[in-house]
């Protein structure tokens, strides 16, 4: 078994600390470097790190750190079924939802890969019956809309992935159902979605692993009240995705139920039944399967020990260099693709909920910075918004660009000699150079210091496969960073206190400041 | 004229630096404090700062800083028409779009307030003609949809405000037209919106002050191509919002044109014709006028010299204490209102583009941190996402909560003894207490350190008036912070280099790394 040690115990980390500020991008970002600092990814994509503040010496120490921290061995322990989620004493098996990376993993005699596949197959059969009109509403009509009710991991990932493929599916004739999402306990969220949804032709998916999520259960009953007001039978309009032990399982209130288990955490559940149900209904199970294949192919590259062949591991290591050596407190994710408009919000959860921790996996406080703030919006929109600070602010914010050569819809227009897609990509290339190289100017207000690091993940087009690869890349990056910081990236005890206090407020059992705040808000 | 000096020249700032870490929220956030640390705002709202790390002594020094930095005088110079935007040699007059705060401001003999009012009136007349069917499409049918084409300041603010009032307008019977928005040069943005829009009944609003914004002009022609393919005459479906000197002005290609001028920057233009056209068409000019009234009322309170009567000024000062004394690098904006889902994205632009600068208003480098990273998502969604890091991460992120007692749609459901709206507000109250007070636990993984500062802006309901007040509060907060940091908050030279390099890429005039990146992306 690998030794799980704190980052600051590694010799290579101490060496890395001595390499602060080694690289001047302004001087060193050459064409040669831009062409060669690149790691191939699955699905024909690549991770280019030429505009990151690394050089041959730092790369060597990052490789030593990867080896000393036994990242490959720890990943192997994880996919072979060790109890990596120490806090909750659970295995961590989201990789198994898309393929087998190591030996068979069983729990209580159940083969876990077989279980996840069985759920995919059950969803595929159900989706196919809905699409071909064998499962219909009470009036015998096809369902045309699918609406997910879930929050956090049951919302952000599936929503981001749906939006990422909606235009692609339209262009490729496989948008089978429109998807909507209800998440917030704010009643205006549910009322707003219900108000614009053709309820008679909508299948709602209730998603809650525990079957006890406050927001989701409130929204379920709220949706049912809208259905009943419309004279519809809720049991004909609702399916459930939950764990086999939850109160929602095998419940006649749902047209069908699909299952996950405790070994896939919410923020890593997009490739489980949590994402599978809504994406298979929206696009067909074959499209969801292609996404899983793209993710699995990325998982396979994450097994590489050589960091120049393992983009997720290298991305993780560079992130640690930026956070712990260079001291940058935030990271921006900037996809040059409108389809990825909510992908940064998903990564915000996946990253900040996993690695925003101050004790290690053994419950001991760590003496170094862990997960950074993650934020982002699609380019070119962000250029007209917060990029001012990124270019000329007093803090340096490392950037992660994502881009594709082709757009999804196939529609485009040529204006002033270039298509919009070319303009989009030209803007992206220009930003990488502008951030790294800067520009001198005699007017200090027009001067760009440069030296602002960025990476670029790029591919041909955003498809189910490249999207799966992108998703798995970030999941694996987050996992490797958790290993480096020696955290348990798979629990979220930090969300518990708020839940406990909310219950107290609703029960009227408060005093002190909390009671004053509740009063100000009319509770 | 006020003296414009750097923050670190003020005696009171030096005193403030000595007051680092004075307040332990865990010990000091009492019921008395929660009830009394509050500043009334316009429109019946209030700014509660009891869970911020201030006490009587710090408040006294913040007041001294406000006085020493002459914040009130600088604001007066601004609204009386001084050239505050030194870089571009322009007045800064967005406050005049909602009311007169000081003396008449004229430019080239034109009264600026009268000019902005004349545009509001022209928009109101036009919107009324559209609503009552006097201005119709070629088939003689009413327009039902309005679609804004703009980016950055011509998109984020208007979009956030539209979403903020959409449910309210439905519930109050004044949703006159549905609004959509096209911003990104990614052709999939425009194609996606065009694909779901009833073009024959849609009025497009082209918004570009200069009339030269690359993304917006490409999208205009792209929209026109969709209109033509549908057999529609673009000139019957498009109006313009631009400056009187732009190529778009007085152009027969548009059904109507409305004007702004150089004295209202993009990110502060929501209350000018940029927001006025789309919001007046969507909700009626009377609703937009109520929003202006709410904003003007907030502007009036921003004139107060006493920081316990001026929420925007106090918010700005506390932000400087957090950024420059406590050393926190980011700030999260967390509205407990689904309607404000895109309000943080608007503030991200307004704040980061204004104060993400490293030279002062005279072009000299400053030696202190300026604008922080701003991010946020609505609660309770964020609780199930990035709050883990906010509660237990290694960095402290100051929080800005926003909440309302009532929801907008009027629809709600009671589950387990409470409505969803009560649950929403109970969650908000609980989070403030959890962040500030924390919780001891023998298991360090379940321990909450507390001491995480937050403020709360709260009101009865999100209406046009409270929304206007909220918008102006943040605009004024950003302005006061710019005064404190001695920045020109009203230019954005940091966005220029990317534009220049993009043009080079599109012209094929690149070499070095830029040319490699362009090649990787197929340009």
Per-residue pLDDT tens listing for chain B (523 residues)? 788 999 999 999 999 999 999 999 999 999 999 999 999 999 999 999 999 999 999 999 999 999 999 999 999 999 999 999 998 999 999 999 999 999 999 999 999 999 999 999 999 999 999 999 999 999 999 999 999 999 999 999 999 999 999 999 999 999 999 999 999 999 999 999 999 999 999 999 999 988 888 999 999 999 999 999 999 999 999 999 999 989 888 899 999 999 999 999 999 999 999 999 999 999 999 999 999 999 999 999 999 999 999 999 999 999 999 999 999 999 999 999 999 999 999 999 999 999 999 999 999 999 999 999 999 999 999 999 999 999 999 999 999 999 999 999 999 999 999 999 999 999 999 999 999 999 999 999 999 999 999 999 999 999 999 999 999 999 999 999 999 999 999 999 999 999 999 999 999 999 999 999 999 999 9
As a three-state string, the secondary structure of B40-76 is ECHHHCEEECCCCCCCHHHHHHHHHHHHHCCHHHHHH
Give the whole-angstrom CA distance, residue B266 versus residue B154: 6
User: For the whole prediction, is pTM greater than 0.90?
Assistant: yes
* C-beta separation of B515 from A31 below 8 A: yes
The pLDDT of residue A210 is 85
| Residue B443 touches partner A, C-beta closer than 8 Å | yes
- Mean pLDDT across chain A, nearest whole number? 97
Interface of A with B in 254-273 (CB under 8 A): 266
**Are B377 and A348 an interchain contact pair (Cβ–Cβ within 8 Å)?**
yes
**Are A166 and B192 an interchain contact pair (Cβ–Cβ within 8 Å)?**
yes
B275-288 residue pLDDT tens: 999 999 999 999 99
The pLDDT of residue B250 is 87
* C-beta separation of B334 from B156 below 8 A: no
The pLDDT of residue B247 is 87
ipTM over the 0.85 cut-off? yes
Chain A residues with CB under 8 Å of B405 CB are 521-522
Give the contacts of A134 (CB within 8 A, at least 6 positions apart).
none
- Residues of chain A scoring pLDDT < 50: none
- Counting one residue from A and one from B, how many pairs have CB atoms under 8 Å apart? 519
* C-beta separation of A119 from A259 below 8 A: yes
**Are A520 and B345 an interchain contact pair (Cβ–Cβ within 8 Å)?**
no
Residue B107 burial class via C-beta count within 10 angstroms: exposed 0-12, middle 13-18, buried 19 and up: middle
**Are B184 and A155 an interchain contact pair (Cβ–Cβ within 8 Å)?**
no
Is A353 designated active site? yes
* C-beta separation of A78 from A483 below 8 A: no
Q: Is B365 helix (H, G, I), strand (E, B) or coil?
A: strand
**Which of A350, A313, A308 lies closest to A331, judged by CA?**
A350
| Residue A369 touches partner B, C-beta closer than 8 Å | yes
**Are A364 and B444 an interchain contact pair (Cβ–Cβ within 8 Å)?**
yes
Longest dimension (CA), chain B: 74
Query: Nearest-CA residue of chain A relative to B376?
Result: A375
Give the contacts of B430 (CB within 8 A, at least 6 positions apart).
A498, A499, A500, A501, A502, A504, A505, A514
Question: Between helices A311-320 and A285-301, what is the axis angle to 10°?
Answer: 60
Give me the residue label for tokens 């080896």: A67
Nearest chain A CA: its distance from B439 CA (Å): 8
* Catalytic one of A422, A499, A503, A509: A499
Give the contacts of B140 (CB within 8 A, at least 6 positions apart).
none
* Catalytic one of A112, A220, A322, A353: A353
Give the whole-angstrom CA distance, residue A395 versus residue A47: 25
Question: E-assigned strands of B150-299?
Answer: 178-182, 202-207, 238-243, 257-260
**Are B497 and A368 an interchain contact pair (Cβ–Cβ within 8 Å)?**
no
* Catalytic one of A110, A384, A446, A503: A384
Interface of A with B in 144-183 (CB under 8 A): 151-153, 155-156, 166-167, 170, 183
**Are B498 and A370 an interchain contact pair (Cβ–Cβ within 8 Å)?**
no
**Are A431 and B352 an interchain contact pair (Cβ–Cβ within 8 Å)?**
no
Nearest chain A CA: its distance from B302 CA (Å): 23
Question: Between helices A420-437 and B214-229, what is the axis angle to 10°?
Answer: 170
Query: Nearest-CA residue of chain B relative to A163?
Result: B192
Q: Classify the C-alpha dihedral A351-A354-A357-A362 as positive or negative.
A: negative
The pLDDT of residue A209 is 87
| Residue B403 touches partner A, C-beta closer than 8 Å | yes
A240: left (phi over 0), alpha (psi -120 to 50) or beta: beta
């Amino acid at each position: 078994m690998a030794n799980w040690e704190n980052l600051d115990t590694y010799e290579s980390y101490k060496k890395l600390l001595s390499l602060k500020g080694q690289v001047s991008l302004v001087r060193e970002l050459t064409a040669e470097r831009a062409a060669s600092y690149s790691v191939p990814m699955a699905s024909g994509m690549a991770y280019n790190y030429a505009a990151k503040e690394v050089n041959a010496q730092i790369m060597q120490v990052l490789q030593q750190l990867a080896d000393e921290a036994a990242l490959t061995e720890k990943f192997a322990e994880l996919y072979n079924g060790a109890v990596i989620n120490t806090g909750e004493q659970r295995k961590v098996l989201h990789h198994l939802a898309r393929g087998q990376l190591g030996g068979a993993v069983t729990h209580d005699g159940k083969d876990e890969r077989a279980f996840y596949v069985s759920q995919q197959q059950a969803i595929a059969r159900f989706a196919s019956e809905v699409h071909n009109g064998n499962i219909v509403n009470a009036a015998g009509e096809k369902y045309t809309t699918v609406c997910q009710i879930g929050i956090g991991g049951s919302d952000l990932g599936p929503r981001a992935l749906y939006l990422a493929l909606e235009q692609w599916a339209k262009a490729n004739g496989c948008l089978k159902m429109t998807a909507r999402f209800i998440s917030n306990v704010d009643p205006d969220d549910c009322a707003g979605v219900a108000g614009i949804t053709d309820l008679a032709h909508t299948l709602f998916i209730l998603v809650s692993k525990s079957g006890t999520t406050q927001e989701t259960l409130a929204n379920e009953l709220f949706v049912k009240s809208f259905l009943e007001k419309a004279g519809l039978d809720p049991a004909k309009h609702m399916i459930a995705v939950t764990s086999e032990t939850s109160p929602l399982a095998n419940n006649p209130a749902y047209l069908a139920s699909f299952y996950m288990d405790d070994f896939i955490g919410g923020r890593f559940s997009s490739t489980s039944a949590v994402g599978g149900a809504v994406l298979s209904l929206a696009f067909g199970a074959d499209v969801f399967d292609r996404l899983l294949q793209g993710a699995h192919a990325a998982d396979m590259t994450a097994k590489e020990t050589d960091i120049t062949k393992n983009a997720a591991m290298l991305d993780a290591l560079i992130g640690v260099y930026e956070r712990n050596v260079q001291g940058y407190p935030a990271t921006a994710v900037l996809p040059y693709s409108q389809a990825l408009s909510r992908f940064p919000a998903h990564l915000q959860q996946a990253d900040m909920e996993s690695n925003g921790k101050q004790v290690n996996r053994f419950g001991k406080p760590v003496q170094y910075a862990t997960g950074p703030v993650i934020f982002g919006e699609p380019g070119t929109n962000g250029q007209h918004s917060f990029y001012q600070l990124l270019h000329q602010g007093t803090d340096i914010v490392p950037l992660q660009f994502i881009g594709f050569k082709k757009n999804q819809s196939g529609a485009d227009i040529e204006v002033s000699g270039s298509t919009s897609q070319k303009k989009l990509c030209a803007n992206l290339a220009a930003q990488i150079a502008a951030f790294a190289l800067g520009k001198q100017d005699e007017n200090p207000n027009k001067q760009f210091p440069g030296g602002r690091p960025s990476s670029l993940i790029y591919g041909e087009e955003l498809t189910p496969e490249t999207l799966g690869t992108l998703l798995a890349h970030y999941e694996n990056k987050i996992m490797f960073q958790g290993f480096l910081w020696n955290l348990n990236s798979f629990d979220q005890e930090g969300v518990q206190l708020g839940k406990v206090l909310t219950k107290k407020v609703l029960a009227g059992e408060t005093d002190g400041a909390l009671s004053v705040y509740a009063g100000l808000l009319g509770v």
